[in-house]
Amino acid sequence: MSRLLITGAAGNMGGMLRPLLRAPGRVLRLADVAPIEDVVDGEEAMALDVTDAAAVGKACQDVDAVLHLGGLSMEASFDDILSVNVIGTHNVLRAAVDTGVARVILASSNHAVGFYRRSVDLVPGSDGLPDELPARPDTFYGWSKAAGESLGALYHHRFGLDVVAVRIGTCFAEPIGSRGLATWLSPADAARLFEACLSAPAVGFRVVWGVSDNTRRWWSLAGGAALGYVSQDDAEPFAPARIAEFGEPDPSDPVQDLLGGNFCLAPLGERM
């Protein structure tokens, strides 16, 4: 029996992934500050504040791998971001090493590299912007994701912990707005990608995009493919409805050109 700790299990992604990551021979340890509802066979629930290092240490006991989704998922004050996202991620990595967890998957974000521009940085005809683009965060939130990746590298190189940081695009049941036609990671593809992150041998430390094989995709699938991820979804069937509602994306509009979209223009440090 293997045990997978999922932090932030009561959040948007946690809720969508729970049923998709259930597997014979696997216990999902679901942890969150918010209550975990409707626990079923093969799941165990745990109250967890990731800023509490001792509690994170307990949550990691008898765990084989951690999927760290917990944290603030949008812009917030520097202090809140530092505490929940950076110290929280550090607590998870530290506890993983201390308790002998072999592998941690970090939910990073496209906002770690939000200030790249498609018009400048995307090579036409390429498979998309590469995995492991150097950080160019668009918010304190994006900076915290880059910091988490960098902490993952530290804990890998110092202690041998396997760490995969997934720069997630837009992971909701359906793509959001017209940008989401390029950035969507379907929940089913998210589960496929996380399964690949869990089962690929000797991953070391890697940063990979978390995106579906969208017709309008800007990001490469190479890093995911190297782990064994095969996307089966594409946002394009949603295009007619999104374009009818929001119009065809205008590439000269910075919100469409910048990878991070409206995060790049939102006031720094203000809750979105």
Q: Which residues bind ligand 15L (CB under 6 A)?
A: 73-74, 109-111, 170, 183
Q: For the CB of residue 12, give the shortest distance to ligand 15L in the complex, in Å.
A: 7
List the catalytic residue out of 116, 141, 155, 229: 141
Q: Between 161 and 218, name the residue whose CB sits nearer to ligand 15L.
A: 218
On the 0-12 / 13-18 / 19+ scale of CB atoms within 10 A, 265 is exposed
Q: Is 173 helix (H, G, I), strand (E, B) or coil?
A: coil
Q: For the CB of residue 224, give the shortest distance to ligand 15L in the complex, in Å.
A: 17
- Nearest-angstrom CA–CA distance, 17 and 32: 14
Q: Between 34 and 74, name the residue whose CB sits nearer to ligand 15L.
A: 74
User: Tokens representing 101?
Assistant: 């967890």
| 110, 169 Cβ separation under 8 angstroms | yes
Beta strands in the chain (DSSP E): 2-7, 26-32, 43-47, 65-68, 103-109, 162-168, 205-210
Residue 176: closest CA among 52, 47, 74, 53:
74
- Nearest-angstrom CA–CA distance, 92 and 56: 6
Q: Between 13 and 27, name the residue whose CB sits nearer to ligand 15L.
A: 13
Q: For the CB of residue 183, give the shortest distance to ligand 15L in the complex, in Å.
A: 5
Q: For the CB of residue 260, give the shortest distance to ligand 15L in the complex, in Å.
A: 7
Q: Between 109 and 214, name the residue whose CB sits nearer to ligand 15L.
A: 109
Q: Is 155 a catalytic residue?
A: no
Residues with catalytic roles = 141
